[in-house]
Amino acid sequence: MDDHPLFREGLRQMIDRNPELSVCGEAADAEEALRLVPELRPDLALVDISLGGSNGIDLIKTLKGKYDDLPILVVSMHDESLYAERALRAGAMGYVMKHEPAKTVKAAISKVLGGDIYLSEKMSTSMLSKLVRGKTADQPVSPLQTLSDRELEVFGLLGQGKGTRLIAEELNLTIATINSFRARIKEKLQLKSSTEVMLHAIQWVREGAGK
């Protein structure tokens, strides 16, 4: 379930080369995914954070609410330091970056299919460190980690140059709600104005983190 055709084709080819795996279906957005899952009954769902007109974290939550026994692996270009823990909290069993070698993605698929959680060594160490050190480890490394899932989504859309009205339409929320998210983002990131929020968001997306 991914809206990047070139990567999707490469992932399909990698899976097809493995005699133990096969692709039973693909979906470009959350609505199509939710329609196909009960029809195709996959053993594993591969989900991206970015989906056409939707958000992968929300899709994971919905899928786990409906199909609790369906393993979900996130395969995404988004920075794991910001999204891996969010994905696991939503119900995913693993997170792997798209730029990883095919053998790493294959290992992640195998591990999640086997009922285990997959994270990169770096991310595993980070999360274990939080667990060991307790509450003091809850201090976010980046101010962006203070944002909620929805706030981070709005921040990313702002960085793509989308205005408040368009974001409201895309997320099916009111303009007032989006303005409220922007205000909270400004406060949490300790920025002085909405213009600074927009500039920081654009810079973040240009650096590749918010695509």
Q: What is the pLDDT along the chain (211 residues), one digit of tens a residue?
A: 544 554 567 777 888 888 888 899 988 888 999 999 999 999 999 999 887 667 899 999 999 999 999 999 999 888 888 899 899 989 999 999 988 888 899 999 999 999 999 999 888 887 777 666 664 444 556 788 889 999 999 998 998 888 888 999 988 899 999 999 999 999 999 998 888 888 888 888 877 654 4
The predicted pLDDT at position 10 comes to 74
Q: What is the model's pLDDT at position 71?
A: 95
Scanning the structure block, which residue is given the tokens 């140059």?
161
pLDDT of residue 28: 83
pLDDT of residue 1: 52
| Conformation bin of residue 40: beta by default, left when phi > 0, alpha when psi is -120 to 50 | alpha
Enter the pTM of the model: 0.72
Confidence at residue 133, expressed as pLDDT on a 0 to 100 scale: 63
Residue 151 to residue 134: CA distance in whole angstroms:
25
Predicted pLDDT at 91: 92
Beta bridge partners of 97: 76
In a 13 Å sphere around the CA of 36, the CA atoms on its Cβ side amount to 17
